[in-house]
Amino acid sequence: MSMIASLCLYFLLSASSVSAARDMSPAELDKWFEQNDIIATDEVSEGELRFITQKPDKPILHSLNKLVIYPSSLDDGWVSLFQCYQNLDPVAASEVVYQYKAMRDLEIVSYKNIGAAQIQGQSIQLTEVKKAAELCVSARVRIFYSNPDGSYSLINGPFHRKFLDGYFPYHLTLEVEYPANKLRLKQTIPAEQPGFSVEQGISKILLDGIFEGILNVELIFQHK
């Protein structure tokens, strides 16, 4: 999967990138540092995945994702995506670039504390992003795959938030609905552990965690 980099700020989210404007002045960059949760360089993750068991004092980027697997998904691989970003970084301009290999019907559902949001292809251009900004979108993505052993995998990621060479705290909430009469959950990767919870209902799975580094999520289902 290719990644899209900007010259100044580079935030990678769920199969998407959020980049601040490339022409930020030194004063604007200093202001961004002051109002953000950037920490000392020697404390920054270099990419290794590390779950955080204690919630940071300052608000951090939170991505709330809902994926719906339909009976038809077992044949065509398409699922529904509803995603909200909370606590986006305040910048004059930024963009959300989706990097799914197969994506359609991208729509902006709502936005808050953002001057304007506009779809351009598989990207959303944002201007006047203020503190506590939120953006919600919906789409269809093909990320449900059949495996040689007869199982199925829902693969989502990578989730990460990057500034230059460091990775910073990221809060992920992922809810997955699936047809319980056709599928049963076999395994989650990563497995449940301190800082990463996995709650399973009759036809729903909820994963939640705060982490630094790069997180890929795979849910493996067995056909009933």
Q: What pLDDT, in 10s, does the model give residues 24-73? A: 555 554 444 444 444 444 454 556 899 999 888 888 889 999 999 999 99
Q: Is 87 left (phi over 0), alpha (psi -120 to 50) or beta?
A: left
Give pLDDT, residue 38.
Answer: 44
∠ CA 69-197-102, rounded to 5°:
30
Identify any residues that bridge with 9 across adjacent strands, giving them in sequence order. Answer: none
Backbone angles phi, psi at 42, to 5 degrees: -75, -5
CA 3 to chain centre: 14
- Grouping H, G, I as helix, E, B as strand and the rest as coil, residue 171 is strand
d(CA 194, CA 47): 19
Give pLDDT, residue 68.
Answer: 98
What pTM, to 2 d.p., does this model score? 0.81
Which residues touch 7 (CB under 8 Å, ≥6 apart)? 22
Q: What pLDDT, in 10s, does the model give residues 140-158? A: 999 999 999 999 999 998 8
Q: Where are the alpha helices (DSSP H) in the chain?
A: 26-35, 73-76
Residue type present at position 53: T
Confidence of residue 4 (pLDDT cuts 50, 70, 90): very low
Can you tell me the mean pLDDT for 175-186? 97
Q: What pLDDT, in 10s, does the model give residues 101-151? A: 899 999 999 999 999 999 998 889 999 999 899 999 999 999 999 999 999
Q: Is 119 left (phi over 0), alpha (psi -120 to 50) or beta?
A: beta
d(CA 145, CA 148): 10
Give pLDDT, residue 163.
Answer: 67
Residue type present at position 154: L
d(CA 113, CA 85): 12
